[in-house]
Amino acid sequence: MPTTESFPTAVTSGFEEFQADDGSIERIRDGQVCLCAEFSSLSIPAGATIDGIEVLMEGTALDTNHDAAVGDWISVSNDEGTTMSTAQSITTGPWVAYGGTMVVETAGGTSELWGMTWNATTAAAIHVRFGWATSDGDAVFFDYVKVRITYTE
């Protein structure tokens, strides 16, 4: 099945480092929220069936237990951020502890629709939200965020 992927070109202020694979990192921590949007390089043919959505993140976490400590913290939207999916954690992992070599972790999958209905237009306008509130001081350090859409023409 074909795929298309893109970095966001719009993010919540303070998280601009999430937009490119350039080795620059930015931290998101307990209590903060980042919304990534305008994944302008996505190319999905009109009429395509969306099969799955993946959120790829290159980075490290404060510790390798991040997802177990904070629970589900990644969600997507098919209506420009008005409605968010049920949050999920990474499906790969665990994270490498901060200071180690950054790794690419994934949430979602090639057949994961996040409980939402998608078409070529809504998938191309996807928004991704990162955030949790556990008061444990945990953090993730991203070099980049990317979305990959799997579809059938």
| pTM for this predicted structure | 0.96
What does the pLDDT look like over 136-153, one tens digit per residue?
A: 789 999 999 999 999 999
What does the pLDDT look like over 19-32, one tens digit per residue?
A: 999 999 999 999 99
In DSSP terms, 104 is beta-bridged to 58
The pLDDT of residue 135 is: 77
Q: Which residue has the tokens 């589900």?
A: 72
What's the average model confidence in pLDDT over 115-124?
A: 98
What does the pLDDT look like over 40-52, one tens digit per residue?
A: 999 999 999 999 9
The pLDDT of residue 134 is: 85
The pLDDT of residue 98 is: 92
CA distance linking residue 62 with residue 43, whole number of Å: 34
In DSSP terms, 130 is beta-bridged to 34, 74
What does the pLDDT look like over 52-108, one tens digit per residue?
A: 999 999 999 998 999 988 999 999 999 999 999 999 999 998 999 998 999 999 999
